[in-house]
Structure 1
């Protein structure tokens, strides 16, 4: 099994070939789409996407994603289904999943995420054991594992996490915990034959819908999506998270999690590492609305 620091495109391309050999696909000229949370390849000869999980994702976590996706599909929820192959596929301890490729003709607007997200928050709890959403624990896990940040930046982010954990105790949520996506955003949705479908369920959890709503708001603001489009999202969903008393705390925690997660995953010297370091510098300068580059 590859270690975290050897989870590189050169090594995952070899894993891709072995996956294709096992299921009868052709890996020639496969395109690498992403190499952050997962190694994501699009095959040239078959309409398929192959996702190879990072070494710090357990087989049990990917099995949960598979089971949850199949349950959502049975429920008729608008999700990208898995391909009809026994999954996950295990190659040298790495969990691999295979999905249909949906060609995309245009970017997805923020407002198009409202209906599927509202439907998700209205679902019953699935017959699958899910972890409770815990932003603080996720931040601390990433801080413990990262090797990118300067010591003073690491200490700054750790102290900020401690302060926000205290602030979170005073936040009063409006609903009981329920099924949430965990990372709903433009890059985790696709245009399907019948409309928008959600995908990338690796962060699914039981939690408060406010965590999903704050993620939408941050992605819209930080990645320069039109403000009018975000206001339309709020109209369709029926709520603007910026009106929530706990908005500043949830915003700061979610942004801190985005920074620390990418610090853990970004190789030193990479474009993503530079972006993480710039985000930390902005945070230290108090630039709360500075634009970020997508990773």
Structure 2
């Protein structure tokens, strides 16, 4: 996993965040014989992710019960991808994976030195196409059901008003009905589940894909959706979607089912951080903007990434 981050060192905790990730990091490092000193918090939404400064590791700590249910699958998928020499992040060998530390599930990954060129949408398209062609996927892969995952987050949140919850739940129900009428273009199979530029890390040899929380068996169209929604919602300076479509050979936005997939993706982006929103006050303003524009049907509103 990448070391690229503007995150705060562990010696300077983010105001309003709880201290538990730092305590779990320290206990994890003690167990594996590493040092937590000067570690950097790369990300803290659904997972707390730290890059160690004194060891070539990244420590990933599940931040909610919904995410914890996926950790064993993540380990299985990472090992499967490694067997096929996919350009993906690698678990550290020779230690228990996952491990339970202070009641939290933790995985430890090799740090990727992000010294290569910035990844492009062409890289995304090539990797997605190769991923979709892989054989012998783990038999334990769950079936794609993004709406179920969204409902799980709605059930475990404690920040929404009753009206906000009802709107999101009703939207999920409406989308489930619409999804049943979709005609697909591609054969279903193993999918990464969250193919977008933020999950592609520049490496010394080539970009590598990370984050297998959403990996499952499902419609390949879904792996082409995040980059398309990214262009529509986040207005990135690089047209990752256009490049991905060129490399993969399909522009998903021309598919009639994309309208439904776009709304499912946007609902996911609204609900993804709900279980940790109370403990992560720094992202609340960004979340509020996403929710209100999604609720209001504002298709032109620009969203920002969580930081």
TM surpasses 0.5:
yes
Relative contact order (C-alpha < 8 Å, sep 6+): which is higher? 2
Structure 1 distance, partners of 2:280, 2:103, is: 28
Q: Secondary structure at the match of 1:149?
A: coil
Q: Tell whether 2:90 aligns with 1:81.
A: yes
Q: Secondary structure at the match of 1:217?
A: helix
Q: Tell whether 2:101 aligns with 1:121.
A: no
Name which of 276, 280, 283 aligns with 1:265: 276
1:108 and 1:191 in contact (8 A); partners too? yes
Higher helix share: 1
2:67 and 2:213 in contact (8 A); partners too? no
Structure 2 distance, partners of 1:227, 1:104, is: 19
Structure 2 distance, partners of 1:34, 1:85, is: 25
Structure 1 distance, partners of 2:82, 2:42, is: 25
List alignment gaps of at least 5 residues for structure 1. Answer: 1-6
Structure 2 distance, partners of 1:284, 1:200, is: 28
- Report the CA distance between 1:190 and its aligned residue: 1.1
Instruction: Give 1:291's aligned residue.
Output: 302
Q: Say if 1:129 and 1:195 are closer, same or farther in 2 by CA, change over 3 A.
A: same
Q: Please show how residues 33-182 of structure 1 align to structure 2 within 5 Å.
A: 33-57=42-66, 61-86=70-95, 87-105=97-115, 107-182=118-193
List alignment gaps of at least 5 residues for structure 2. Answer: 1-15
- Report the CA distance between 1:54 and its aligned residue: 1.9
Q: Say if 1:171 and 1:279 are closer, same or farther in 2 by CA, change over 3 A.
A: same
Give the total of aligned pairs. 289
Instruction: Give 2:259's aligned residue.
Output: 248
Instruction: Give 2:5's aligned residue.
Output: none
Q: Please show how residues 228-243 of structure 1 align to structure 2 within 5 Å.
A: 228-243=239-254
- Report the CA distance between 1:75 and its aligned residue: 1.0
1:37 and 1:54 in contact (8 A); partners too? yes
- Report the CA distance between 1:93 and its aligned residue: 2.9
Deviations 1:38-95 (A, max 9, x none): 1111111112111111241476631221122112111111111111232212213322
Instruction: Give 1:274's aligned residue.
Output: 285
